């Protein structure tokens, strides 16, 4: 089965030089996808910042699956919208003389996102935003967003967001059923923590994030007429919570789902958000924050639903 790759769209003019220091997109299509047993139409969409290999995806999936079975739903399908996933290997070019972000060191035992997809036998779409330090050769690393799914993915897009302090690339994909019929569009994004020093650093951050959020909205508008259900999972890096302009900007196109009043980061801040436009027939439950970081510094946000496929 093939995946349609629609390529990189820039929302900010010229692509920053950092783009030359990262490897190509990673796409994994299972040779023989594992059949889903007794899912009862249950779909779990998870938004999570993995903190560059510190988050344990296998543990997260295992815990959610056990909880769903205990509720009588059987084995659910999963779509994971992941920030700060990482890739390691010789396909990551050397940094050369370009300044790149400092390395966030994964645990020694951490598998990169491609290995995780192969181990799970799931579909993967990963696009690096930036290098993860200066290591080279087989130890070269980059990091960025990923969509990891037990269901097939198609129509893959990468959106280069307006540059502030670090390069940011949002992803869009279409989730299909076993008959290759489009059923759901998903997206994942991760915005800057701050603005350049010349533009106010901390207090200029909301303005920079609003520009990046506008880049996401503009990219999504071209899909707004096809009526596919849509979910965006994002680490918007909003220290001011839901009052930030970035949240309001995305919500003009897709409603924000409340995932409770708990913090989404171990610092106590609400940085992560889920936006969803779903049909009433999908019986979506409340979005919830899982009370376990599974090794990351962010808590996963989970939107469960019954899908009449």
What string of DSSP letters covers 219-253? HHHTTTTS---EEEEEE---TTGGGSHHHHHHHTT
**Cβ proximity of 132 and 95 under 8 Å:** no
Report the range of poorest mean pLDDT among 12-26, 52-66, 214-228: 12-26
Query: What percentage of the chain exceeds 70 in pLDDT?
Result: 89
Q: Which residue has the tokens 């594992």?
A: 34
CA distances from 29 to 21, 114, 149, 260 (A): 25, 11, 10, 35
* Termini Cα distance of the chain: 20
Q: Round the average pLDDT of the chain to a whole number and report it.
A: 89
Pair type for strands 5-10 and 42-49:
unpaired
Task: Say what the pLDDT of residue 267 is.
Answer: 96
**Cβ proximity of 215 and 12 under 8 Å:** yes
Distance, CA of 84 to CA of 82 (rounded, Å): 7
Model confidence at 6, in pLDDT bands (50, 70, 90)?
low
Give the CATH number for residue 138.
Answer: 3.60.10.10
Residue 89, pLDDT above cutoff 70: yes
Mean pLDDT of 111-131: 97
Q: Which residue has the tokens 């390069």?
A: 167
| Cβ-proximal residues to 230 (8 Å cutoff; 6+ apart), any chain | 184, 185, 186, 187, 220, 223, 254, 276, 277, 278
Task: Say what the pLDDT of residue 273 is.
Answer: 98
pTM of the entire structure? Answer: 0.93
Domain count, the chain: 1
Query: Can you give the residue range of the structural domain that contains 163?
Result: 5-306
Beta bridge partners of 206: none
Q: In this structure, how many other beta carbons lie within 10 angstroms of the beta carbon of residue 222?
A: 11
């Amino acid at each position: 089965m093939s995946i349609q790759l629609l390529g990189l769209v820039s929302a900010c003019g010229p692509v920053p030089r950092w783009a030359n220091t990262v490897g190509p997109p990673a796409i994994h299509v299972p040779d023989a996808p594992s059949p889903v047993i007794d899912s009862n139409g249950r779909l779990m969409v998870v938004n999570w910042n993995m903190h560059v290999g510190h988050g344990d995806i296998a543990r997260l999936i295992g815990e959610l699956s056990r909880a769903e079975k205990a509720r009588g739903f059987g084995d659910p399908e999963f779509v994971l919208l992941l920030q700060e996933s990482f890739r390691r290997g010789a396909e990551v070019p050397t940094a050369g003389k370009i300044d790149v972000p400092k390395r966030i060191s994964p645990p020694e035992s951490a598998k990169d996102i491609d290995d995780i997809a192969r181990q799970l036998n799931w579909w993967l779409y990963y696009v690096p935003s930036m290098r993860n330090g200066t290591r080279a050769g087989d130890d070269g690393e980059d990091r960025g967003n990923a969509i990891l799914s037990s269901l097939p993915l198609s129509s893959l897009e990468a959106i280069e967001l307006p540059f502030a302090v670090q390069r940011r690339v949002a992803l869009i994909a279409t989730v299909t059923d076993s008959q290759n019929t489009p059923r759901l569009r998903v997206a994942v994004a991760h915005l800057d923590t701050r603005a350049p020093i010349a533009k106010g650093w901390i207090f200029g951050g909301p303005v920079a994030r609003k520009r990046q959020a506008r880049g996401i909205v503009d990219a999504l508008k071209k899909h707004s007429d096809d009526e596919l259900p849509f979910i965006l999972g994002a680490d918007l890096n909003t220290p001011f919570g839901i009052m930030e302009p970035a949240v309001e900007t995305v919500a003009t196109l897709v409603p924000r789902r409340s995932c409770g009043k708990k913090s989404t980061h171990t610092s106590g801040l609400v940085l992560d958000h889920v936006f969803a436009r779903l049909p009433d027939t999908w019986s979506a439950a409340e979005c919830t924050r899982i009370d376990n970081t599974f090794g990351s510094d962010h808590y996963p946000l989970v939107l469960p639903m019954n899908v009449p496929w």
